[in-house]
Amino acid sequence: MLVDSHCHLDYLARDGDLADVLTRARNAGVSPMLTISTKLREFDQVRAIAEAEPDVFCSVGAHPHEAGTEPDTTTAQLVELAAHPKAIGIGETGLDYFYEHSPRQVQRDVFRAHIGAARETGLPLIVHTRDAEDDTIAIVEEEMGKGAWPGLIHCFSGSQRLADRMLAAGLYISISGIVTFRKAEELRDVVRSVPLERLLVETDSPYLAPVPKRGKRNEPAFTAHTAAAVAELKGISPEALADATTANFRRLFAKAEF
């Protein structure tokens, strides 16, 4: 069993073949799947997919790209939506200073609102960070000082410094298909250093398809390719990697029943 800890099934559904996508995932041994909310105004669509499938769960949150269009996101609002039995995480949220689709201060404010929801509900926070390591570290460490909360850095592509500081704060590290890319040697070094008990795997589909599927639309079935690459880096079998990452997902996303 492999878990795709981060995918966007609502985006894949727009292509009209979601049933086939889910079948291919299950046939590849990928189940369950966590489909991620990026816009609160579209959360109903994300939730409906999770409600319809026994092995699909969802998160609730607003991506940093959307912080500028949903700047009034509150902890109370997130907590209320997260009460749904299929909602097992908060986010994705965080900081993206690469594209800067939203003002930086708004991103920081909305990030903190999500952290408050993770702290209040005990559900893990799903953090996106790109070109914003200093602020991510500062906010995570400051907010941990106000009261601990569970979480992970999804689609990790940052530095060893970021990984070390996030692990020290208690967060997990989730690895996407980027780890298979030719120029990702620094990331592969980071993966080698992360304790096995703190690793997850994901697709971030429909984006970032791993080698040998690079250039194609990504989908949860391709988790197996990323997991195989991570297993090789850790010097263990794909089966052992699957067992470990599934156990890690169960421990972090304890609300999920499967």
Q: Confirm or deny that 154 is annotated as ligand binding.
A: yes
Residue 220 and residue 189 in contact, taking contact as beta carbons nearer than 8 Å: no
Q: Confirm or deny that 65 is annotated as ligand binding.
A: no
Q: Confirm or deny that 4 is annotated as ligand binding.
A: no
Q: List Cβ neighbours of 190 (8 Å cut-off, separation of 6 or more).
A: 156, 158, 159, 160, 163, 173
- Measured CA to CA, the distance from residue 215 to residue 195 in angstroms comes to 30
- Measured CA to CA, the distance from residue 27 to residue 101 in angstroms comes to 37
Length of the chain (residues)? 258
Q: Given the structure tokens 């997991």, which residue do they identify?
A: 227
E strand segments, 61-171? 87-96, 125-130, 151-153
Q: Confirm or deny that 84 is annotated as ligand binding.
A: no
> Can you give the three-state secondary structure of 152-196, one letter per residue?
EECCCCCCHHHHHHHHHCCCEEEECHHHHCCCCHHHHHHHHHCCH
Q: Confirm or deny that 204 is annotated as ligand binding.
A: yes
CA distances 163 to 36, 51, 133, 198, 235, Å, are: 22, 34, 10, 11, 20
Q: Confirm or deny that 8 is annotated as ligand binding.
A: yes
Residues placed in the known binding site for a divalent metal cation: 6, 8, 92, 128, 154, 204
Residues placed in the known binding site: 6, 8, 92, 128, 154, 204
